[in-house]
């Protein structure tokens, strides 16, 4: 998900002779890259979950499908209520 190039550059920098400040910054950026990867994974997972409830997904269903889903949920608007 995150740029392999960015990860490669950070690894290359870590292998170089750095000042203390540079080493701190590279360590910080490596942590930020990991956080970005985790955040992107979370957002994409949420997007996949919400994809079933988009207006396009609902309009693509037949009246029978929508009615059956409604009855199976016992009229609840959302699954987590």
CB 30 within 8 A of CB 69: no
**Chain centroid offset of residue 12 CA:** 27
Each as own residue / partner, the long-range contacts of residues 36-45 (CB below 8 Å, 24 or more positions apart, any chain) are 36/2, 37/1, 37/2, 40/1, 40/2, 41/1, 44/1
Whether the predicted model's global pTM rises above the 0.75 cut: no
pLDDT digits (tens, 9 = 90+) for 26-58: 999 999 999 999 999 999 999 988 888 888 888
Share of the chain above pLDDT 70, in %: 89
Band (75; pLDDT cuts 50, 70, 90):
low
The set of residues, in sequence order, having a beta carbon less than 8 Å from that of 51 and lying 6+ positions away, is 57
Share of the chain above pLDDT 90, in %: 59
Please give the pLDDT value at position 14: 92
What are the residue ranges spanned by the domains of the chain? 4-72
């Amino acid at each position: 998900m995150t740029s392999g190039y960015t990860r490669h550059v950070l690894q290359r920098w870590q292998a170089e002779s750095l000042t203390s400040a540079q080493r701190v910054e590279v360590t910080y950026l490596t942590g930020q890259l990991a956080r970005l990867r985790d955040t992107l994974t979370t957002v994409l997972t949420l997007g996949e979950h919400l994809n079933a409830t988009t207006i396009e997904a609902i309009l693509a269903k037949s009246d029978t499908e929508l009615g059956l889903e409604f009855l199976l949920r016992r009229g609840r608007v959302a699954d987590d209520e």
